[in-house]
Amino acid sequence: MGITDLFKKRNRDEITGTKILVATLDPKFSALAQADKNSFAKFYPMPDEESFNDVEALLDAIRKGCDVVHLFCDVSEEGNINDQSGRKISGTPLVQTCCDSGVKLLWVASANRPNGYIKGFKAQGKPLNLVMTINRAQANFGPFLEKLLSKMSGGLTMPLAWVEIAPQNPNSPQQQDLPECIFFAGRGSVVLR
């Protein structure tokens, strides 16, 4: 999919009553998860927040159905997600489970190194918007997330909302204080209300 494909007129995939799952695989992320849940709650009714001890429990929760998975986890340099019990899974099966379960947006919200994402999260050709956080830019993440959610819940697709908030010019003054993320728009036409 090229950049021009994101702006072509096409049938919108509009979801109303968007279901949000804010999930953690380690208690060290609980404060960040609560803060992000509060941001989602300003725009979407009753986001769920759950802490999981193992990856399989997370995958089971995803299979039960949600539109957005906002995940806090550690991603290794090899691209694996490790849980508290020592089990690990590559990011690619997580992406596939999300696609199979109807998830429209998977956002790894904890900061991880880009090499792990590149090695382990293969989303090419998958109908999923995927955001992988490299640096939350702590004080700036909440305002960025809320601006993005405001535009998305107001009817913009994620790629259009993203470009309005984070113009894709590295010299733009707007880029200075933004979180560093990799955004793959595999489901660019979806609207999450």
pTM, rounded to two decimals: 0.91
Whether residue 6 has pLDDT greater than 60: no
Quick one: pLDDT at residue 152? 97
CB-CB contact of 55 with 88 (8 Å)? yes
- The 3-state DSSP class for residue 179 equals coil
Whether residue 173 has pLDDT greater than 70: no
**Per residue in 142-167, pLDDT tens?**
999 999 999 999 999 999 999 999 88
Task: Give the mean pLDDT of the chain.
Answer: 91
Quick one: pLDDT at residue 4? 55
Structural domain of residue 23, as residue ranges?
A: 14-166+174-186
Quick one: pLDDT at residue 17? 93
Specify the number of domains making up the chain: 1
114 inside domain: yes
Written as one string, the DSSP assignment of 77-133 is TTSEEE-TTS-EEEHHHHHHHHHHTT-SEEEE-S---HHHHHHH---TT-S-EEEEE
Whether residue 81 has pLDDT greater than 90: yes
The single-letter DSSP state of residue 46 is -
193 inside domain: no
95 inside domain: yes
CATH number at residue 58: 3.40.50.720
CB-CB contact of 13 with 128 (8 Å)? no
For the segment 95-111, the average pLDDT, to the nearest whole number, is: 98
For the segment 127-133, the average pLDDT, to the nearest whole number, is: 98
